[in-house]
Amino acid sequence: MVQGVFYENIPLINIVVAWGQSVQAPYVVLDTGFTGDLQVTPKIAKELGLQVTGVTPTRIANGDIIQSPTALAIASMEGVVNYIQVLISESMPLAGISFLSKFNYKAVVDCKYRTVVLEKVF
C-alpha cells in the first residue's frame, strides 16, 4: 500500500523513476484523467538523462491536441520495477491510469478526509 498526500486540493503520490545512473523520487499529481504512464517536466527529463524516442499527439485538459516528446524510463513502486513511457511537458508531473495498471494498483482518493491510498489489486 502506498500513502499519498493532499497539497491544497491536489492528490500527490511519491514515485521512484530512473534512467541509467540517475534516480529521482518526485511527488507527482495522481491524475485519473491522464491515461498515460507518467508526465515529467523537461528539467526532470534532463536530470534523468532521458532520451526522446518519439513524439505523440496528446489531448490536454482543455481539449487541444499537442505534440508531446516521449521517452522510456524505469519506475519502481514497493520493490516492483517496470519500464514506463514518459511524456515530457512543461506542465506539472503526473501519474496516470496506465502507470497504476502497470503496478496493479487501484487508487482510493477521499477528498472529504484528504487521503490518497494506492492499494495492490491481485
Residues 109 and 11: their CA atoms lie apart, in Å, by 8
pTM here? 0.91
Collapse the DSSP code of 2 into the 3-class scheme (helix H, G, I; strand E, B; otherwise coil) and give the result.
strand
pLDDT of residue 60: 82
C-alpha distances (whole Å) from 56 to each of 36, 86, 88, 89, 94 are 11, 11, 10, 12, 16
pLDDT of residue 39: 97
pLDDT of residue 112: 93
Contacts 24+ apart (CB under 8 A), 113-116: 114/6, 115/3, 115/4, 115/6, 116/3, 116/4, 116/5, 116/6, 116/11, 116/12, 116/13, 116/30
**Domains of the chain by residue range:** 2-120
Strands 38-40 and 80-88, by their bridges, are: parallel
Tens of each residue's pLDDT in the chain, 122 residues: 999 999 999 999 999 999 999 999 999 999 998 999 999 999 999 999 999 999 999 888 888 999 999 999 999 999 999 999 999 999 899 999 999 999 999 999 999 999 999 999 98
C-alpha distances (whole Å) from 27 to each of 17, 40, 62, 66, 94 are 11, 11, 24, 24, 9
Residues 85 and 95: their CA atoms lie apart, in Å, by 11
**2-120 CATH fold:** Cathepsin D, subunit A; domain 1 (2.40.70)
pLDDT of residue 122: 83
